[in-house]
Structure 1
Amino acid sequence: MESVSARDGRRGGRGLRERYPRASWPAGAHRQQPLRVRGRSVAWVPPLLLLAAIALADVNTGADFRIVSWIVLVPGIAAAICGVWGTAAYAVLSVVTYGVVDGLWPDAYRAGLPDFILVALGGILAVAACVVRVRGQERMLRMQYIAETIRRTVLRPLPPAWGGLEHAEVYLPADVEARVGGDFYDIQPGPHGTRVLVGDVQGKGLGAVEMAAALLGTFREAGYHEPDLATVAERLETRVRRHRGHLGDLGRGGEDTDRFATAVLLDFPADAPDAVDVVNFGHEPPLVVGPAGVRALPPGDRLPLGLGDLTRDTSRPGVRRCVLAPGETLLVTTDGVTEARDGDGAFYPLADAVAHALAADPRTARPPRLVALVRDGVLRHSGGHLDDDTTVFAVRRVLGSGLPG
């Protein structure tokens, strides 16, 4: 999947990419370098300049102002920005420089052995501190790589124009370090049309990720094999109950066995090029964005996935067919968008923002532009502080192409 953030980097979206960076690769592959110029590390420059400045100042000042012992700061600075071997080199260089500079003074004015021991001990402690820092960085990089692998497993990359659909999506986790949460989405082409699932698991943490992964696994199989969209919806409801029962048997009660998920299940039938079938499980109704403006699809009549046993209604999930005009895009968002607040507590006006942008530029209905508009608007509205995972998903049929049959 080519993220909207990556594409927008060519249009000045660098600040947002820095706010939500991609995870680094395995430990040691891209060790953090605070100071780089044109791809090359210059972290060795500040300690060297400090060392030279202290030595020159000590030589060119009077005997009443000896600062040679300040050299102990040099390996400390190196420990913060250089590697282990670089820090060790500065620790040795500091001791040597101390001995040379202090030896230039008459015996009566020399700092002597106590300060020499201070500089040597400071270098040893700096090297030890650098080892701890580098190991912490490598541990963080490993965790980021694991989180990125989990994200790509749950939210697999989607090929462009897959299954006859033009799509764009962006996922912004509330925890930018975790990089994955309870929001989920996927597209599944199949012999009966192309199905789309977008949803949000209640709660956060690994329990929400587990349920999202379980739902996506079921959707990818049922969405491909089942000819009836209502059957796919029933499979999703059953999967939530089975998942919670499994967690209960493992002794993981409480929130994990009480989770539910809101979701929108879409089907673009191969035999109806102007229609989309919708099953809404307690999710915010998708918006239809196109030349005619912005309108919301009718709200769903199903409870969220996992809460179906709270009602006596045993009927099959109702599938609602909606007509789409050429060029109209379906916009599905999670509550990270609709519940985003500004400093005054006002919610983000999604429909109004999209309608205003569409009136100014009809090309806003294109999925990449639409997703970028909503993403940037939410981040501006909330000041970059997201209280919940945020997913923006836009999809429409590719004009002039048929869906897989």
Structure 2
Amino acid sequence: MLYVRGRSVAWVPPLLLLVTIAVIDYHTTGEFRIVSWIVLVPGIAAAICGVWGTAVFAALSIVTFTTVDNAWPHEFQTGLPDFILVAVGGVLATLACTVRVRGERRALHMRNVADTVRRTVLRPLPPFWGGLEHAGVYLAADAGARVGGDFYDIQPGPYGTRVLVGDVQGKGLGAVETAAALLGTFREAGFHEPELAVVAERLEERMLRHRGYTAALGRAEGDRFATAVLLGFPADRPATAGPRPVRSHAWRPGTAGPGTAGPGTAGPGTVEAVVFGHEPPLAVGPGGVRPLPVTGGLPLGLRELDPAPVRVYRLPLAADETLLVVTDGVTEARDAAGTFYPLAEDVARAVAQDARTVEPARLAVVVRDGTLRHSGGRLDDDTTVFAVRRTGGPRANTSKGEVH
């Protein structure tokens, strides 16, 4: 509001007030003088102008006061007391403006730091990356923090493209630090490891090591853990390639649940999934919405409660289906009556109204808007919406010498 065509007009309000007070005082009777109100001018300038602008208006106020007051006969002049009031008001306004500007600069610096942290944890991703089309929405519960414990990333590699979406338990910088540690491990293991189960094991190990590190520093963060969904989109393999052994479970339509998959069944029409105590992804297609039939394992960091091997699920995924993964900021969003947000029903209704909703960008916006509408804009937890599907195009940057 204080800029017109890129130029600041913050000086206009105090200048108009200065002129208005001077004109009104000049045209009133001697019994009703308002020239001392000119002390308001530097006060308003202090709120919207810079330090030098405020100092200029403080000086103009003194000059205008002296000129207008001396234009009256001696018996109607307000005299020295009001002159002192205007002068002291200008000095105090300039000092107050100095404090305000320093605070704004500090706040801007902290915002830049927060933005740098956010770009480190949630690095910008090309819209088409590693043969996947994706869209992500992140809303921090603390708008001032701009980043929290939710995280997501995509890592292309020679064995396919891996996707990680998760939520670190707790809030604050400790949660952000944990998310950064997990993402660093994912970017390395997701590129170099042939099997998704090994990537999952590396994430678990990293979580335990990070907890040991924070404990050695004497930071009382308790038994911090993280829920997550790890997805693998296998690379297209030549028909002559031998089977690739995977410790996995598969599900086929018409069966009661996951079973043991035979080797070599991975391909363009499948997706591999590991769930660490997280809500299972939703497969959203023109025909409707279905949850992937995977049972959630324990969150990262709680493996000692169940030392069984990591379970990798290999599931069919149609070419026109988009996988939707959300954190508990979405699933636990409540309205005024305490009702949870009906995610699957809302998405199914949107797809029925417009089949283009299955596109990742549209789907992420639908879920974001639905969550904010349902909760009345009040977010009690960090909120992440991530939608991803295959593009069928060539993969980007998957040569075995690069890590992105």
TM over 0.5: yes
| Aligned partner of 1:227 among 194, 206, 215 | 194
Return the alpha-carbon distance in structure 2 between the equivalents of residues 182 and 160 of structure 1.
Answer: 23
> Which secondary structure does the structure 2 equivalent of 1:195 belong to?
strand
Return the alpha-carbon distance in structure 2 between the equivalents of residues 295 and 160 of structure 1.
Answer: 24
| Aligned partner of 2:384 among 379, 383, 391 | 391
Structure-to-structure mapping, 1:346-361, within 5 angstroms: 346-361=339-354
Structure-to-structure mapping, 1:194-209, within 5 angstroms: 194-209=161-176
Structure-to-structure mapping, 1:129-140, within 5 angstroms: 129-140=96-107
> Which secondary structure does the structure 2 equivalent of 1:369 belong to?
helix
1:172–1:389 contact (8 Å) kept in structure 2: yes
| Aligned partner of 1:116 among 63, 78, 83 | 83
The residue aligned with 2:281 is 286
| Aligned partner of 1:267 among 228, 232, 254 | 232
Q: C-alpha offsets along residues 334-365 of structure 1, whole Å, 9 cap, x if unaligned?
A: 00000111111111110001000101111100
Which runs of 5 or more residues in structure 1 are unaligned? 1-33
Return the alpha-carbon distance in structure 1 between the equivalents of residues 175 and 27 of structure 2.
Answer: 65
Return the alpha-carbon distance in structure 1 between the equivalents of residues 113 and 393 of structure 2.
Answer: 41
1:193–1:268 contact (8 Å) kept in structure 2: yes
Structure with bigger gyration radius? 2
| Aligned partner of 2:363 among 346, 370, 373 | 370
The residue aligned with 2:216 is 249
The residue aligned with 2:260 is none
Return the alpha-carbon distance in structure 2 between the equivalents of residues 182 and 77 of structure 1.
Answer: 41
> Which secondary structure does the structure 1 equivalent of 2:268 belong to?
coil
Structure-to-structure mapping, 1:69-218, within 5 angstroms: 69-218=36-185
Q: C-alpha offsets along residues 221-251 of structure 1, whole Å, 9 cap, x if unaligned?
A: 0111010111110110111110000111111
Q: C-alpha offsets along residues 148-186 of structure 1, whole Å, 9 cap, x if unaligned?
A: 000000111111210000000010000011000000000
| Aligned partner of 1:303 among 283, 298, 303 | 298
CA deviation after TM superposition for structure 1 residue 75, in Å: 0.3
CA deviation after TM superposition for structure 1 residue 402, in Å: 5.6
Tell me how many residue pairs correspond in the alignment: 368
CA deviation after TM superposition for structure 1 residue 399, in Å: 3.0
Deviates more, 1:34-43 or 1:173-182: 34-43
2:280–2:296 contact (8 Å) kept in structure 1: no
> Which secondary structure does the structure 1 equivalent of 2:130 belong to?
helix
TM superposition score normalised by structure 1: 0.89
Identity of aligned residues (%): 70
AA paired with 2:378?
H
CA deviation after TM superposition for structure 1 residue 400, in Å: 4.7
| Bigger helix share | 1
> Which secondary structure does the structure 2 equivalent of 1:394 belong to?
strand
The residue aligned with 1:343 is 336
CA deviation after TM superposition for structure 1 residue 141, in Å: 0.2
AA paired with 1:97?
T
TM superposition score normalised by structure 2: 0.89
> Which secondary structure does the structure 2 equivalent of 1:212 belong to?
helix
AA paired with 2:228?
A
The residue aligned with 1:22 is none
Q: C-alpha offsets along residues 257-312 of structure 1, whole Å, 9 cap, x if unaligned?
A: 4110000000000131000000000100100001221000123341000011122x
Return the alpha-carbon distance in structure 1 between the equivalents of residues 9 and 57 of structure 2.
Answer: 14
1:341–1:348 contact (8 Å) kept in structure 2: yes
Which runs of 5 or more residues in structure 2 are unaligned? 237-266, 400-404
AA paired with 1:260?
F
> Which secondary structure does the structure 2 equivalent of 1:151 belong to?
helix
Q: C-alpha offsets along residues 92-113 of structure 1, whole Å, 9 cap, x if unaligned?
A: 0000000100011111111111
AA paired with 1:386?
L
1:324 and 2:289 correspond: no
AA paired with 2:172?
G
The residue aligned with 2:204 is 237
